[in-house]
Amino acid sequence: MLPGPTNVFGGTFSMGIALIITVLQIVRVPNLKVGTVLLGCAFLYDIFWVFVSKWWFHESVMIVVARGDKSGEDGIPVLLKIPRMFDPWGGYSVIGFGDIILPGLVVAFSLRYDWMTKKSLRAGYFVWAMTAYGLGLLVTYVALNLMDGHGQPALLYIVPFTLGTIITLGKKRGDLKTLWTRGEPERPCPHVQLQPLEQKE
């Protein structure tokens, strides 16, 4: 019997969301350089195992593992299954935890930077990064439908949108050097007390 939407959004789904939130709270990206390297490696990894692995193994390893085709199970517990709204056959769309957590680390970094610099929502980076992530995810699902349901590496679309937006805005606003290296605004050392200048008599 196929699980219905109530089962999908039950315990397993809730545990997955809780795990994602916990990781995003604990793990922190110190600067944009580390975030770029992390997402760049994940970008290449995703493309390799979805597309390139077909040439060596005659099928996409990532898709087989995600669906659990060879195990007889209902898929490995590192992805979220979301019922398709208008699918008369009750199909599912799946997204891996990595497609949420890895870009999420960079989005969380942008939020921390906005807090430390006391930027407004419009002048900050968080809202723009979240919007870019949403657009990347939307393009992923459009590509999925255009490819007749063949699996797509979500990071292929999400990474350029998310990183591209933050880097472009940072360069335009003059914050890119700070974002790239320090990851936080410069602050005076709290141990150094500035002495007031003596008034001339």
Active site (catalytic) residues:
46, 99
d(CA 131, CA 73): 35
Amino acid making up residue 56: W
Whole-number Å distance between alpha carbons of 108 and 53: 32
**Helices 32-47 and 97-117, packing angle to 10 deg:** 170
DSSP-derived secondary structure letter, 95: E
Output the CA torsion sign for 111, 112, 114, 120: positive
